[in-house]
A and B are shown apart, each in its own frame.
Chain A
């Protein structure tokens, strides 16, 4: 089983820490993640609004390159890329004529043999994750899935779209207490981050507000866009709502990296706009799901630049 890695644009730019933490986790787990050679833009939100053929050809070219490398799976950590690659694979496998047409456009015979994996599927496939935990992530967390990780459900067939559980289960595995909250899949404002920052401030504000009001110590994300809006746009959010939110937003790979004992800097925790620091352990430490031998450690250790 050969698993390839498609970074997409954000992993090389605004979400460098997502990429850093992922590769650090992969190395710690002893898993190879070769990058797909000569990969291109997935088209994301722009292509499928402009040109249907282009919207399919861009991801098809990426997947065809992965197939050529003999990859059985492609890990796509960005939720938007994951959506584009999954939808393309689905549409081309459903329609033979379209598949031939797109194969002609990309000058490669796309067969659809490589499966598209999101970050949660990939992490859930690690069989011995629990046994590698060095210190559990004993924090109350709000797992934020956003829109594209679980939708369109009919194509992805990954998790239930309105109340997904897969990230919650993964967080439980590493000793965290995932909260039952209401904004798991609500819109963060996504690409409006640039053009309508006011909308993003409002929508992302609602998400943070609900997470904080339920006692979350961190928001866990698996999408660069979600992270951007909840983290980088924090000043806009706070200005809009008139409230201050100290809650850090961290990538799922960073949380897992921490329990594997990887140092914070290697996980890129210092790159966040909102400092990753946790309040002192609560009166009621959520230890129900944590392994009994787990040492209680203060999150202060993870202060950026402290190690």
Chain B
């Protein structure tokens, strides 16, 4: 005979404000099989948990129903409490009377009655619950890090330094990401490459890190602790083992006028190229879309000059398979390009550039070797206007969020310009200055006060060319919205930070959720900021939202700590809420008839064939068997099984029917 305990939580006022909790507890006590029913202010508190533990022991409870919040919040808390009192944790269920009831309804009798009905169904379910044992699965102690920018580099190094293997996949020919393009970094103005390249070299040299550059993730299967990754190594057209990185091929390549991605379109590169001098690995790659040989079938000059005969024109993409236990997504961001700001002439006037292009102009390794010269005619710009929030915080442009990094880098840009062009006049148009961060506000002040950057609070309405000058029209809202017109030589737009072009595709490959801007979603915005909702997949850096370097690095270290914690266990313990194929005593053995519809339906390839043999080795029957390590408990096979031989533990047919019947069979007087 079942002896169920019902524990009704007030959740402060969250539940009790609209649900009569005393009535719920009193009514629950009358449900057949309920041996004990009580309400309490905070069930999740220590005294609340103690109440459950005591009741289990004193009342000899065989099951527990906690009527409180969503099981997503406190199910582990209460199951743990039950286990401590000696009750199998899977005999504890939560009746969600908060999210499903008190929060979404007005205070009324109907609301209370709904709460009672929810409790009633869960009592019926627990009566049919069986004690279950957790499943243990091994952990592959290798991490896959996707994206070799500063976040991916940091995560890789931290995981590798904790003694675990790392596979780092980078889509570009070199690691380094956007940080390698930057000239100097705020708020210290230290050279970006000087602080980044030692980390890049460390990645290359670390015995625990395998680097796949110029590679992309092809697919990811499996689950936490046991993922299978397929990585596409794109053909570099080069034998990396033979190449010494001497660079002769890049010098001799006759096709030299290809827009350089690294220089944000301001410089040129050859068809066989290394993106920048400190690239890791320092091995060239042939751009097959521009190489004369691939286009016209002639040339092969690089092959002739290569001292080690490393060029391989016939090389094909290669697929590498790897078993990994955890994945860190660190795929970074992009800035908004293109024709989205026609009133600013972005993409139309050569001297209206974006933030990354300015970084390249200011960088010693850039197309002007660090001299401040404008793209159109190479003249030193005497007046430069910086426009913050070019697209950000602008619903009309479809981007409502703040890109967060622009206030700081715009101050830095204006400062760098002023340092290079002493007599220059920098103006910054801004909406608000968001300089929250250590030494950030001081940095912006410095730009204004020491470097004399003119800050104008107001938006720019239009930029157009007249007589060789860029006319910037705007308003100074601090001076009574006085219209302003500045004749500038160059304009730098802080265009909005956006997700990378391939972000959505990758998210679908690895099954993580993303927001409407294609930034990856964290499991909880405050308390689980580096985890995704997919167990074993973590986030680092600006693929989650625009972030500056310190924040990206901090999050990367956070993600690495999560991976290290996962890898510190020999086995992972999983909830046994998985499908099982029914087994019976001989001579039936199983109701399974071996049609294997389930096998074709399983999205996780978790169903195998099992041969049942007699003592003489004679085959008696072939039935389905669920691999408990692979099964995710989705239930697709259950729905398809024609002989009802598969069931989900914890959500069995019997339990679900009992829940439905509890609602159907309740008498009018029960409420």
Chain B positions 251-268 with a Cβ under 8 Å from a chain A Cβ:
none
- Does chain A have a CB within 8 A of B471? yes
Check if A160 sits within 8 Å of B471, measured CB to CB.
Answer: no
Assuming the contacts A160-B342, A162-B342, A163-B342, asked whether A182 and B466 have C-beta atoms less than 8 A apart, the reply is yes
Check if A213 sits within 8 Å of B466, measured CB to CB.
Answer: yes
The smallest C-beta distance from A208 to any residue of chain B, in angstroms, reads 14
Question: B interface, how many residues as a size bin?
Answer: under 10
Per-position binary interface string of chain A over residues 172-185, scored 1 when its CB falls under 8 Å from any chain B CB and 0 otherwise? 00000000111000
The smallest C-beta distance from B563 to any residue of chain A, in angstroms, reads 45
Per-position binary interface string of chain B over residues 452-476, scored 1 when its CB falls under 8 Å from any chain A CB and 0 otherwise? 0000000000101110000100000
- Does chain A have a CB within 8 A of B608? no
- Does chain B have a CB within 8 A of A153? yes
Query: Interface of chain B, helix or strand or loop or mixed?
Result: strand
In angstroms, Cα B443 to Cα A279, docked, is 57
Per-position binary interface string of chain A over residues 143-167, scored 1 when its CB falls under 8 Å from any chain B CB and 0 otherwise? 0000000000110000011110000
Chain B positions 311-352 with a Cβ under 8 Å from a chain A Cβ:
342-343, 348
Check if B343 sits within 8 Å of A162, measured CB to CB.
Answer: yes
Check if A182 sits within 8 Å of B342, measured CB to CB.
Answer: no
Instruction: Return chain A residues, CB-CB under 8 Å to B348.
Output: 180
Assuming the contacts A153-B396, A182-B471, asked whether A162 and B466 have C-beta atoms less than 8 A apart, the reply is no
The smallest C-beta distance from A180 to any residue of chain B, in angstroms, reads 8
The smallest C-beta distance from B341 to any residue of chain A, in angstroms, reads 8
Check if B466 sits within 8 Å of A163, measured CB to CB.
Answer: no
In angstroms, Cα B471 to Cα A213, docked, is 14
B462: contacting residue among A160, A162, A213, CB under 8 A: A162
Per-position binary interface string of chain B over residues 191-213, scored 1 when its CB falls under 8 Å from any chain A CB and 0 otherwise? 00000000000000000000000
Per-position binary interface string of chain A over residues 109-153, scored 1 when its CB falls under 8 Å from any chain B CB and 0 otherwise? 000000000000000000000000000000000000000000001
In angstroms, Cα B397 to Cα A161, docked, is 11
Please give the number of chain A residues whose Cβ is less than 8 angstroms from any Cβ of chain B in the complex. 12
Instruction: Return chain A residues, CB-CB under 8 Å to B396.
Output: 153-154, 161
Among A180, A182, A213, residue most surrounded by chain B Cβ atoms (within 10 Å): A182
User: Closest residue to B341 on the A side, CB-wise?
Assistant: A162
User: Closest residue to A152 on the B side, CB-wise?
Assistant: B396
In angstroms, Cα B394 to Cα A161, docked, is 14
User: Closest residue to A210 on the B side, CB-wise?
Assistant: B466
Per-position binary interface string of chain B over residues 99-133, scored 1 when its CB falls under 8 Å from any chain A CB and 0 otherwise? 00000000000000000000000000000000000
In angstroms, Cα B495 to Cα A34, docked, is 49
User: Closest residue to A165 on the B side, CB-wise?
Assistant: B342
Instruction: Return chain B residues, CB-CB under 8 Å to A180.
Output: 348
The smallest C-beta distance from A184 to any residue of chain B, in angstroms, reads 9
Chain A positions 33-79 with a Cβ under 8 Å from a chain B Cβ:
none
The smallest C-beta distance from B475 to any residue of chain A, in angstroms, reads 14
User: Closest residue to A214 on the B side, CB-wise?
Assistant: B466
Instruction: Return chain A residues, CB-CB under 8 Å to B465.
Output: 182
Instruction: Return chain B residues, CB-CB under 8 Å to A160.
Output: 342
In angstroms, Cα B396 to Cα A160, docked, is 11
In angstroms, Cα B396 to Cα A210, docked, is 27
The smallest C-beta distance from A177 to any residue of chain B, in angstroms, reads 17
The smallest C-beta distance from B340 to any residue of chain A, in angstroms, reads 9
Chain B positions 418-475 with a Cβ under 8 Å from a chain A Cβ:
462, 464-466, 471
User: Closest residue to A153 on the B side, CB-wise?
Assistant: B396
User: Closest residue to B395 on the A side, CB-wise?
Assistant: A154
The smallest C-beta distance from A169 to any residue of chain B, in angstroms, reads 14
Interface residues of A (CB under 8 A from B): 153-154, 160-163, 180-182, 186, 210, 213
Complex A-B: 19 CB contacts under 8 Å: A153-B396, A154-B396, A160-B342, A161-B396, A162-B342, A162-B343, A162-B462, A163-B342, A163-B343, A180-B348, A181-B464, A182-B462, A182-B464, A182-B465, A182-B466, A182-B471, A186-B462, A210-B466, A213-B466
Interface residues of B (CB under 8 A from A): 342-343, 348, 396, 462, 464-466, 471
The 10 A-B residue pairs with the shortest CB-CB distance in the complex, in nearest-first order: A163-B342, A182-B464, A162-B343, A163-B343, A162-B342, A160-B342, A182-B462, A182-B471, A182-B466, A213-B466
Known: A182-B471, A210-B466. 13 other contacts (CB 8 A): A160-B342, A161-B396, A162-B343, A162-B462, A163-B342, A163-B343, A180-B348, A181-B464, A182-B462, A182-B464, A182-B465, A182-B466, A213-B466
